[in-house]
């Protein structure tokens, strides 16, 4: 199937990044190149954009889509957690803007073979980097009860975490769990009927948690955002789109710490630590999709955009 990418909050992303300023920009979650195309189209001819993604299929699809921009676009297979190393390898000192879209791409969700969706039968995979050795199969079949419970609670905010973990451990005693359908059936059996009737799909939070564990999405996110801010030139901007509360909370926290890094006691009459604000917030509250966008792209419903400028 084709690697498509319908960018969420397109107008809002451009307003936050202000690519008309020119310079060097980066898209740390390139995907199919939807956001990258918008940014490149708004950049001056002398500016360029670096596209980073762990998924080789995304790199290929985006490179083809953005080939019209010639040398103004460079694709790099990697993880935005390693932004500094990637920039050093390209002999780039500082960035003037960077975007992170932390959602799973439509292609990854809709392609059954990738195992991201709880709505289609597929192998337990969920790897964004298909060259990685570690997959959902390893989590589901290798983690003990305590480890499974931890990630379901921390990364999925699943209230039935311990019970689901117990059902998984018991089921795999007979034979390893291999498919998403097997996992969904176990989750349905573990969650009481009354609870299953509440909210969305009963497997949503468990799949979210396992995907986050497989791809390291939440572990180290705050440190990664801090590292990207260090890579920004004065006046450089970082825009981050999240789709779940844990990611949004992490971004909000790191922005708050960079906005007010002072470590002096609140009772101190004056600051003596010498730490000054590193950023200013472009938007104090997260930006969400308007009604027109939601009609065209329902997947934008949970998207939240936060942005900051390096001082």
Do 290 and 234 share a structural domain?
yes
Do 222 and 98 share a structural domain?
yes
Nearest 5 degrees, angle CA 235-CA 241-CA 242? 140
Domain total for the chain? Answer: 2
- What is the model's pLDDT at position 1? 53
Do 226 and 98 share a structural domain?
yes
- What is the model's pLDDT at position 195? 85
| pTM for the full predicted model | 0.91
Task: Using the Cα atoms of residue 80, residue 84, residue 90 and residue 95 in order, give the sign of their dihedral.
Answer: positive
- What is the model's pLDDT at position 2? 58
- What is the model's pLDDT at position 176? 98
- Give the end of a domain, one of 153, 183, 215: 215
Q: Is 110 among the domain residues?
A: no
- The domain of 265 spans 10-102+218-310
Q: Is 195 among the domain residues?
A: yes
Q: Is 107 among the domain residues?
A: no
Do 223 and 90 share a structural domain?
yes
Indicate which CATH number applies to the domain containing 91: 3.40.50.150
- Give the end of a domain, one of 215, 234, 265: 215
Q: Is 134 among the domain residues?
A: yes
* CB-based contact 308:255 (threshold 8 Å): yes
Distance CA 296, CA 119 (A): 22
Measured CA to CA in angstroms, residue 193 lies from 21, 123, 189, 196, 202 at distances of 55, 26, 8, 5, 10
- What is the model's pLDDT at position 303? 97
Mean pLDDT by 10 residues, the chain (311 residues): 77 98 98 96 98 94 96 97 98 98 77 87 94 96 98 96 98 98 97 84 95 92 97 98 95 97 90 94 97 94 97 98
Helices 34-42, 10-17: inter-axial angle, 10-degree rounding: 50
């Amino acid at each position: 199937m084709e690697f498509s990418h319908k960018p969420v909050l397109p107008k809002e992303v451009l307003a936050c990044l202000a690519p008309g300023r020119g310079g060097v920009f980066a898209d740390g979650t390139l995907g199919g190149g939807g956001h990258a195309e918008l940014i490149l189209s708004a950049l001056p001819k002398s500016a360029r954009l670096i596209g980073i993604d762990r998924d080789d299929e995304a790199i290929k699809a985006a490179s083809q889509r953005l080939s019209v921009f010639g040398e103004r676009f460079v694709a790099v297979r990697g993880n935005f957690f390693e932004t500094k190393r990637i920039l050093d390898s390209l002999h780039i000192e500082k960035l003037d803007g960077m975007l992170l879209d932390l959602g799973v791409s439509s292609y990854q969700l809709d392609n059954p073979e990738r195992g991201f969706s709880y709505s289609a039968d597929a192998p337990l995979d969920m790897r964004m980097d298909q060259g990685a050795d570690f997959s959902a199969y390893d989590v589901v079949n290798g983690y003990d009860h305590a480890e499974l419970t931890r990630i379901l609670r921390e990364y999925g905010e699943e209230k039935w975490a311990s019970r689901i973990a117990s059902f998984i451990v018991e089921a795999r005693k007979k034979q390893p769990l291999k498919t998403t359908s097997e996992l969904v059936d176990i989750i349905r059996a573990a969650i009481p009927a009354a609870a299953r009737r509440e909210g969305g799909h009963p497997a949503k939070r468990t799949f979210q948690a396992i995907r986050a564990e497989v791809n390291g999405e939440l572990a180290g996110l705050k440190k990664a955002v801090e590292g990207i801010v260090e890579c920004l030139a004065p006046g450089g901007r970082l825009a981050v789109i999240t789709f779940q509360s844990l990611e949004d909370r992490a971004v909000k926290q790191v922005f708050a710490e960079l906005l007010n890094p002072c470590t002096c006691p609140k009772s101190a009459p004056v600051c003596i630590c010498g730490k000054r604000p590193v950023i200013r917030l472009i938007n104090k509250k997260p930006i969400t999709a308007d009604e027109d966008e939601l009609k065209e792209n329902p997947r934008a419903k949970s998207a939240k955009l936060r942005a900051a400028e390096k001082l």
